[in-house]
């Protein structure tokens, strides 16, 4: 007789989805869903806001207008009837699943002590893997802004990205840095090569 699958194993196999919310309602939606026993993920970052007479550190969502939902489609009506929720991001008429690898990469970045912030969606560039530190194993695109190196992590479904500061020496290439440049396979890529390559492709945000 087949044994029933453990509840924790079933939970791990649930897909992730994105909930589209009203502007500035991400935290409220996340709290209400969590209080109803629905697992959510709301990655945030700290930003400094300037008023006329003072500065204040505020916690902002890394993906404005979105809250990530783990499973929960069996309670779809409850999710959609939550105040502040517009819809579940879908393709056609079906909720679109987000790869677990994307969620875990974003979670590692958001819960680390590294500086992280929203970034314009980026698909092209030098793909690398972090080989040490709190982001070990995370894959993304290496770029540079104002002299610092950043690892770009994306939620492809949402066409949105975030950037987390990294040391170029902690990453390794997943593919040749440039198909038009011949690099000997007997010599590993160095941090210097990453710095030179990123400097050439430095974004207009500098």
Give the CATH number for residue 67.
Answer: 3.30.70.940
Section 169-186 average pLDDT: 55
108-128 residue pLDDT tens: 999 999 999 999 998 878 899
- Bridge pairing between strands 171-173 and 160-166: unpaired
Q: What is the predicted pLDDT for the residue at 174?
A: 87
Q: Give the residue numbers spanning the domain of 1.
A: 1-98
pTM: 0.76
Q: What is the predicted pLDDT for the residue at 23?
A: 94
175: confidence class by pLDDT, cuts 50, 70, 90: low
Q: Which two tokens stand for residue 94?
A: 């079906």
Task: Tell whether 105 and 206 lie within a shared domain.
Answer: yes
Task: Tell whether 59 and 130 lie within a shared domain.
Answer: no
| Residue 136 scores a pLDDT above 50 | yes
- State the total domains in the chain: 2
Residues 65, 52: Cα–Cα separation, whole Å: 27
Task: Tell whether 80 and 118 lie within a shared domain.
Answer: no
Residues 204, 116: Cα–Cα separation, whole Å: 19
Task: Tell whether 115 and 198 lie within a shared domain.
Answer: yes
| Residue 78 scores a pLDDT above 90 | yes
Q: Which residue has the higher pLDDT, 136 or 202?
A: 136
DSSP the chain: -PPPPPHHHHHHTPPEEEEEE-TT-HHHHHHHHHHTT--EE--EEEEEEE-SS-EEEEEEESSTTEEEEES-GGGHHHHHTSTTEEEE-EETTEEPPB-HHHHHHHHHHHHSSS-EEEE-----SEEEEE-SSTTTT-EEEEEEETTEEEEEEEEGGGTEEEEEEE-GGGEEESS-S-TTS---TTS---HHHHHHHHHHT--TT-
Q: Which two tokens stand for residue 200?
A: 């050439």
Section 83-98 average pLDDT: 94
Task: Tell whether 119 and 93 lie within a shared domain.
Answer: no
Task: Tell whether 131 and 151 lie within a shared domain.
Answer: yes
190: confidence class by pLDDT, cuts 50, 70, 90: very low
Q: What is the predicted pLDDT for the residue at 146?
A: 78
Q: What is the predicted pLDDT for the residue at 93?
A: 87
13: confidence class by pLDDT, cuts 50, 70, 90: low
183: confidence class by pLDDT, cuts 50, 70, 90: very low
Q: What is the predicted pLDDT for the residue at 24?
A: 94
| Residue 82 scores a pLDDT above 80 | yes
Q: Which two tokens stand for residue 13?
A: 């196999």
Instruction: Specify the residue for token string 């170029």.
Output: 168
- Last residue within a domain, chosen from 76, 98, 120: 98
């Amino acid at each position: 007789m087949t044994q029933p699958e453990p509840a924790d194993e079933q939970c791990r196999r649930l897909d992730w989805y994105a909930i589209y919310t009203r502007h500035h309602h991400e935290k409220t939606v996340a709290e209400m869903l969590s209080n109803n026993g629905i697992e959510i993920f709301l990655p945030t970052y700290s930003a400094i806001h300037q008023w006329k007479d003072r500065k204040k550190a505020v916690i902002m969502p890394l993906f404005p207008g979105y809250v990530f939902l783990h499973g929960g489609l069996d309670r779809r009506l409850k999710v959609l009837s939550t105040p502040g929720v517009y819809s579940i991001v879908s393709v056609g008429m079906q909720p679109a699943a987000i790869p677990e690898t994307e969620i875990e990469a974003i979670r590692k970045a958001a819960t680390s002590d590294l500086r992280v912030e929203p970034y314009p969606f980026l698909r092209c560039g030098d793909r690398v893997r972090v080989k040490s530190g709190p982001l070990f194993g995370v894959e993304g695109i290496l770029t540079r802004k104002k002299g610092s190196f950043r690892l770009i992590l994306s939620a492809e479904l949402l066409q949105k990205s975030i950037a987390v500061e990294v040391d170029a020496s902690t990453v390794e290439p997943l593919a040749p840095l440039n198909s038009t440049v011949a690099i000997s396979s007997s010599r590993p890529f160095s941090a210097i090569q990453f710095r030179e390559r990123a400097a050439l492709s430095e974004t207009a945000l500098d």
